[in-house]
């Protein structure tokens, strides 16, 4: 299969190699480029845990906070925290609801504030869930994700020639970017033989504006589960 990877390039390239080992051809089209942001020292005196909802925020883990547990949204984010030197890392099941459950299981509202290292664009679901049960959540923006403004000539050519079999989509925002750019380029009709393979139902939802041959969401928001969709019948 010829598969489009829409992740930022530094994460897309290892995935492309993985797909090539499996016999597929990979085309990389980053829909977001990540700009790390660096804050000054973070006040941690009354913080009981650090929350990560993206591996892109792991660089901002404060060196003087290694005594604090990191609660990560999923496996990739947990691995990034461990690579940054944290030993107490707990991982949820890949979405905000499961991270909120993990917080409730491991922390108490009376235990102190929660520090959420996040991107500039953040969904409100996690904060709303935690506020509803009495937690104080403090956000620190750790990175900015810049949206692509056009599709590359290589991808436009692949779409125009019908030389694409599947597209891997990883976040609601990147999916919306892809959908809007395909429509802007007038290539919606060229997707009638392309499968959209999505990390979750939330990622899949914007795809329904396009005429994909199939739209599939992973049973769990994990890369390995997503890739299992490649073997599913069209």
Query: Is-contact 99 77, C-beta < 8 A?
Result: no
- Distances in whole angstroms, Cα of residue 104 to Cα of each of 28, 49, 138: 38, 12, 16
Instruction: Give pLDDT, residue 233.
Output: 62
Is the distance from CB of 195 to CB of 234 less than 8 angstroms?
Answer: yes
- For residue 4, the cross-strand partners are 27, 167
Q: What is the mean pLDDT of the segment spanning 178-195?
A: 95
* CB within 8 Å of 114: residues ≥ 6 apart: 47, 48, 49, 50, 51, 103, 107, 130, 135, 136, 137, 138
Which tokens sit at 93?
Answer: 């099941």
Contact 197, 168 (CB under 8 A): yes
Q: Are residues 201 and 218 in contact, defined by beta-carbon separation less than 8 angstroms? A: no
**39 within 8 A of 140, measured Cβ to Cβ:** yes
Which of 93-97, 121-125, 211-215 has the highest mean predicted lDDT (pLDDT)? 211-215
75 vs 28, which has greater pLDDT?
Answer: 28
Q: Band of the pLDDT at 204, cuts 50, 70, 90?
A: very high
**Phi, psi of 74, deg, nearest 5:** -165, -175
Give the residue-averaged pLDDT of 217-229: 90
What is the pLDDT, as a whole number, of residue 121? 87
Residue recorded with tokens 């009709």: 189
> Residue 206's closest CA among 166, 165, 173?
173
**Does the pLDDT of residue 234 top 80, yes or no?**
no
Share of the chain above pLDDT 90, in %: 88
Element (H, E) at 116: strand 113-119
Given a contact cutoff of 8 angstroms between Cβ atoms, the answer to whether 52 and 32 are in contact is: no
User: Rounded to two decimals, what is the model's pTM?
Assistant: 0.86
pLDDT confidence band for 231 (50 / 70 / 90): confident
**Domains of the chain by range and CATH?**
2-31+148-231 (3.40.50.10090), 37-145 (3.40.50.10090)
Structure tokens at 112: 């102190």
Token pair of 45 as six digits = 């005196």
Residue that the structure tokens 């942001």 belong to: 37
């Amino acid at each position: 299969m010829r598969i489009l990877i829409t992740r930022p390039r530094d994460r897309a390239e290892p995935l492309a190699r993985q797909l090539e080992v499996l016999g597929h051809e990979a085309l990389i089209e980053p829909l977001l480029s990540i700009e790390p942001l660096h804050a000054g020292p973070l006040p941690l005196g009354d913080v009981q845990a650090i929350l990560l909802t993206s591996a892109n925020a792991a660089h901002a883990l404060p060196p003087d906070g290694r005594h604090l547990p990191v609660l990560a949204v999923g496996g990739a984010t947990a691995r990034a925290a461990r690579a940054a030197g944290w030993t107490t890392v707990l991982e949820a099941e890949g979405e905000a609801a499961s991270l909120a459950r993990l917080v409730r299981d491991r922390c108490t509202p009376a235990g102190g504030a929660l520090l959420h290292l996040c991107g500039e664009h953040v969904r409100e679901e996690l904060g709303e869930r935690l506020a509803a049960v009495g937690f104080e959540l403090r956000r620190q923006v750790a990175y900015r994700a810049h949206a692509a403004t056009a599709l590359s000539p290589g991808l436009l050519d692949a779409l125009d020639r019908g030389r694409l079999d599947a597209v891997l989509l990883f976040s609601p925002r990147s999916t919306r970017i892809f959908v809007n750019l395909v429509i802007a380029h007038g290539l919606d009709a060229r997707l009638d033989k392309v499968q959209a393979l999505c990390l979750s139902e939330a990622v899949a939802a914007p795809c329904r504006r396009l005429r994909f041959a199939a739209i599939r969401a992973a049973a769990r928001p994990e890369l390995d589960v997503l890739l299992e969709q490649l073997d599913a019948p069209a």
